[in-house]
Amino acid sequence: MSATSPVGGDRYTVISADCHAGADLLDYRPYLESRYHDAFDVWAATYVNPYEDLVADAADQNWNSERRLAELEQDGIVAEVVFPNTIPPFFPSGSLMAPAPGAEDFEHRWAGLRAHNRWLADFCASAPGRRAGVFQILLNDVAAAVKEIRWAAGQPGLKGGLLLPGTPPGSGLPELYSSAYDPIWAVCEELGVVVNHHAGSASPPLGSEPAARAVFMVETTWFSHRALWHLVFGGAFRRHPGLRLVLTEQGSGWIPGVLDMLDYYHGRLLAAATQASTAESKFGAGLAASMGKGPSEVWHDNCFVGASFMRPHEVPLRDRIGLDKIMWGSDYPHDEGTYPYTREGLRIAYAGLPRDEVAAMVGGNAARVYGFDLDLLDPIAAKVGPTVEEVAEPLEEVPKDATSPVFAKGGSVRVW
């Protein structure tokens, strides 16, 4: 069956392009190199988890393989791309949200991420073909990152690819457009490793005042979007035309407008660079040679969006985003995810759309990008997947205890 249209009989084959998992804290210890065990014991003895959901009864959704498979199947999902969630060794918080490490704690944090990667490889291997683990690196040591990428590419459970950290203001790291990261792009292109950039990993610290939380919510996706224009203007895709970038849990409705803006600046700077010396011509100097194709072309050829619980007002933009670019995600097990109302979430977004378009967005594109085997997944979907008829029916009433923003008032307004 074609990887662009996963429909098992009268049901959709749903692959979540955005789920999260991680080990319970002490279960990371066997995956650490033994020379870090004493330091881990000291750290773990005093560590206080800052996240209520990671100490609640539902915390084992992150590592209980059987529970996870059962709940996802109950929700109509047959496979998942697995981003991190719990606290790796030596981190102050979840690795998506932790600031870039300084020189004094880089060694221990790097050991902690390698432990997570090895745990994740085993966790995904425990459900063959059902999970694509996204492994982690740090950018402080590019050579070490390249070595980890080569190791991870050989692990069947880690076919979700690389999680690219952000370089927020104040991190002390070179910006993502820097050629310092070329060895990373080169090895990912060589080995066919997808580069993922998830929301939350690029925001600078904002402090603890009440307003900081609101500002974080407003700005966090924007800071994540920056990876797109950094890599485009930095020429990463010109030097490595086989590189693939996925932007996950950052929304999708912003993409057409941002591409228009980037195309505008690209054209404006290229034109200015051909003129006599002016203040603006200096901004475009060297851009054409270093960058190559325009931003919209790069998006078309190299980029995808992990459109977690795609909102109805974003759906009319699907052709401008690219039907072959959109990969729906449930964000399980997060409170803002669609579980246990994924069927309702699909209905509120996709009711009335052509069957082949829905099939591509809810699973076919993810199967193609992450290498899921639909011959394995379609028979499972034929038993547990949402029916085509069900998803086609508009949702009249939102479940009262639903917590996903896809159901939020105003978040489900469809603009045609």
Q: Could you report the per-residue pLDDT of 278-330, keeping only the tens digit for each? A: 777 777 777 777 888 999 999 999 999 999 989 999 999 999 999 999 999 99
Please report the DSSP string for 222-286 in residue order.
Answer: HHHHHHHHHHHHTTHHHH-TT--EEEESS-STTHHHHHHHHHHHHHHHHHHHTSSS-TTHHHHTT
pLDDT at 414: 35
pLDDT at 11: 98
Confidence of residue 416 (pLDDT cuts 50, 70, 90): very low
pLDDT for 3 beyond 90: no
Count Cβ neighbours within 10 Å for each residue of 255-281 and write b for 16 or more, e otherwise: bbeebeebeeebeebeebbeeeeeeee
More confident residue, 4 or 308: 308
Q: Answer whether 195's CB lies under 8 Å from 244's CB.
A: yes
Residue 5 has, within 13 A of its CA and on its CB side, a CA count of 8
Alpha-carbon distance of 372 to 78, in angstroms, equals 11
Domain boundaries, the chain: 7-407
pLDDT at 384: 98
The Cα-based distances of 366 to 2, 25, 226, 361 in angstroms read: 12, 30, 23, 8
Three-state DSSP at 79 gives strand
Alpha-carbon distance of 127 to 269, in angstroms, equals 50
For residue range 55-70, list pLDDT tens digits in order. 888 999 999 999 999 9
Average pLDDT, the chain: 93
pLDDT at 25: 95
pLDDT for 5 beyond 50: no
pLDDT at 142: 98
CA triple 204-209-212, angle to 5 deg: 40
Confidence of residue 274 (pLDDT cuts 50, 70, 90): confident
Alpha-carbon distance of 213 to 64, in angstroms, equals 31
The Cα-based distances of 328 to 18, 75, 129, 280, 337 in angstroms read: 8, 14, 18, 41, 12
Residue 105 has, within 13 A of its CA and on its CB side, a CA count of 15
Residues 7-26 have a mean pLDDT of 91
Q: Does domain 7-407 have CATH number 3.20.20.140?
A: yes
Phi, psi at residue 132, to the nearest 5°?
A: -120, 100
For residue range 224-257, list pLDDT tens digits in order. 999 999 999 999 999 999 999 999 999 999 999 9
For the chain, percent of residues with pLDDT exceeding 90: 81
Residue 240's nearest CA partner among 197, 179, 198 is 179
Residues 162-184 have a mean pLDDT of 95
pLDDT at 4: 43
pLDDT at 410: 57
pLDDT for 362 beyond 70: yes
pLDDT at 1: 38
For the chain, percent of residues with pLDDT exceeding 70: 96
pLDDT for 30 beyond 80: yes
Alpha-carbon distance of 303 to 260, in angstroms, equals 15
Residues 364-376 have a mean pLDDT of 98
Phi, psi at residue 369, to the nearest 5°?
A: -70, -40
Q: Answer whether 134's CB lies under 8 Å from 196's CB.
A: yes
pLDDT at 7: 46
Residue 319 CB coordination number (10 Å): 9
Alpha-carbon distance of 260 to 252, in angstroms, equals 14
pTM value is 0.94
Most confident of 2-16, 284-298, 337-351, 395-409: 337-351
pLDDT at 290: 83
For residue range 90-129, list pLDDT tens digits in order. 999 999 888 889 888 999 999 999 999 999 999 999 999 9
